[in-house]
Chain A
Amino acid sequence: MFRDVTFTDVSRTDALDDCVGFVMDEDAFRAFYDRTARGVWAYLVRVTGSRETADDLLQETFYRFLRAAAEHQDEAHRRNSLYRIATNLARDARRRSLFRGAAGLTGDDIERVAASGDQAHATERRADFTRAMSHLKPRERAMLWLAYAEGASHREIADVLGLSPGSLKPLLFRARRRLAVLLGRAPGRGER
């Protein structure tokens, strides 16, 4: 799955004596974490719409990944599992009404995103993007991010989000359409 990946094979079964039922040893975990943590955090920020929530869920995601009694065939499969856990945690957090506001984003988040850029134009673009994303449903945000930020295939996105591969294409099409219209860079339905 996902681009910019160094496919280092990680042993799942060695050196479990030092820990309690983890799926990998410390060295393997730390390497895997260093490769994936920033991406997972960015995904959680985009799906939940909150940096604080993403901070909270990041460690829980990796903990549950470590404790999951899952057999991972390769790095891609391992990443799919990680993102699936993150997706479920984000969904649970939303159900517990931990998100602040219906759109999931606060002014603070948008402002902070806006303040993080160096150039005014880039900053404004990012703030626009954040606002546009906040108007999408969490599942739409997740599938767009996985497709265009993480470079995941349709099959992988369906796997992470618990959807059938057949239903993903029209859902992704509609989500993409909505975001393009919200960004003001494409005509809405019936306009072309």
Chain B
Amino acid sequence: MTTRVSDTCEFEAEVLAAVLQSRWPERADDSLRAHVATCTICSDVAAIASAVEDSREDLRANAVVPDSGRVWWLAQLRARREAAEAAGRPITAAQMMAFACAVGLLGACFGATSTWFQSVVRTMLRWVASSLTGFDVKALLHGAITVLAEHGALALAMAVVLFLVPTAVYLALGKD
């Protein structure tokens, strides 16, 4: 029996058994004691095993765990609630899609009838056309500021709708 440098030792299990059976160190074999005195692994096992076992016994003896019937009952309640929520999720998704379609339809009607909106679209198309021929940042900024000043409320409302709809869908579907 010599000092080991690896991370395992063939006597580890024997030392552990001696500790757990309360044979260590007085009633253990002399040869085992001699080995432990020279083996880092086994001396560590001997050092910690009794402390771990002592703590294990103490914790298990003083453990206050809920009754198994109560745990089962609560688990069933929770599972049923989650199942009900999961069953309701497609309805919520359909409702959100219907809402998004309605908003889109309203937007389309608004776009078709609103002269404001049509002028905005025309202006934007002109910008795109002008930027393709000769990109002018100053003109672009000037045009954007002009449009925002004229139709700021409309742009803000559209931005809010565009943000709110995906957010509402996300919250409805990602609740769980």
Contacts and interface: CB of A to CB of B under 8 A. Distances in A.
Do A and B truly interact? yes
Interface of A: 18-22, 26, 29-30, 33-34, 37-39, 41-42, 45-46, 58-59, 62-63, 66-67, 113, 116-117, 122, 125-126, 128-130, 132-133, 144-145, 148-149, 169-170, 172-173, 176-177, 179-180, 183, 185-186, 192
Interface string B83-112: 100000000000000000000000000000
B8 interface: yes
B71 A33 contact: yes
B7 A41 contact: no
Contact residues of B: prevailing secondary structure:
helix
B74 to A, nearest CB: 7
Contact residues of A: prevailing secondary structure:
helix
Interface string B39-64: 01101110111011111101110110
B43 A186 contact: yes
A38 B60 contact: yes
Given A148-B16, A177-B40, A186-B43, A30 B72 contact: yes
Contacts of A180: 43-44, 47-48
Contacts of B153: none
B45 A116 contact: no
Contacts of B59: 38, 41-42, 45-46
B134 interface: no
Nearest to B41: A173
Interface of B: 7-8, 16, 40-41, 43-45, 47-49, 51-56, 58-60, 62-63, 65-66, 68-69, 71-72, 74-76, 78-80, 82-83
B68 A37 contact: yes
Contacts of A185: 47-48
B47 A186 contact: yes
B55 A130 contact: yes
A42 B56 contact: yes
A128 B47 CA distance: 13
B37 to A, nearest CB: 10
Contacts of B45: 148, 176
B58 to A, nearest CB: 6
